[in-house]
Structure 1
């Protein structure tokens, strides 16, 4: 399954780095930046997380909540949050069920090796829970600014 612009975003429940169970539907009334990334503590993922961290006040000012999702387990997420002072929740999709429902669990190739993993992707979900914007194969540089601009110009 994958999602389409204008469709209701697939709801889910995942455990967050702080141990709480997060349900997407509980954030109705706020815009949501749901970003999927491959792995905590890796260079690209760290840069992306820190870029979101550095712009969090601008997202907050736009009534937008940032949620990061990867297949890493909760303890690894918590170490990542503590090491980089991340002010948003990281969700543990250890069975990649949510990644599959959003169409971002894909065959990847690296140094000639094929494996399944997360394709770095971001979804903007509006206050009613509908998918408003999607970026696949995200390039980290400039992506957080693109997300802010989209929300500012289309959802605020």
Structure 2
């Protein structure tokens, strides 16, 4: 069912990106929570959106980066769970936006992730959230997104 929804949105999940460090991409607890490690906007093994949002790339490109991070996170979840149909609801999203200190539109950027989760999971995609500005992210990524889902 979720696979059909993704297809209707024109989304094909990629192979899950390999971790860029000493961690696992998803941890599922006995309390039915899955924690997805931070995902950056990679496509074909390359970072697609680099630099600082609001300086090097637009807010709209930052939203696309957050959406791509979420697609990568969904690929990680599918790999860990076997099926995205096991996801009951999105619980929490944390988005990090590489930006200059005076940039204040982090919530607009991370809407790229939040809006996609609602498109995919409907009301069960609504979640608590934090949108944080940071001075840099791994591999000069513009955005990084992590989230928690109930399974």
TM-score when normalising by structure 2: 0.31
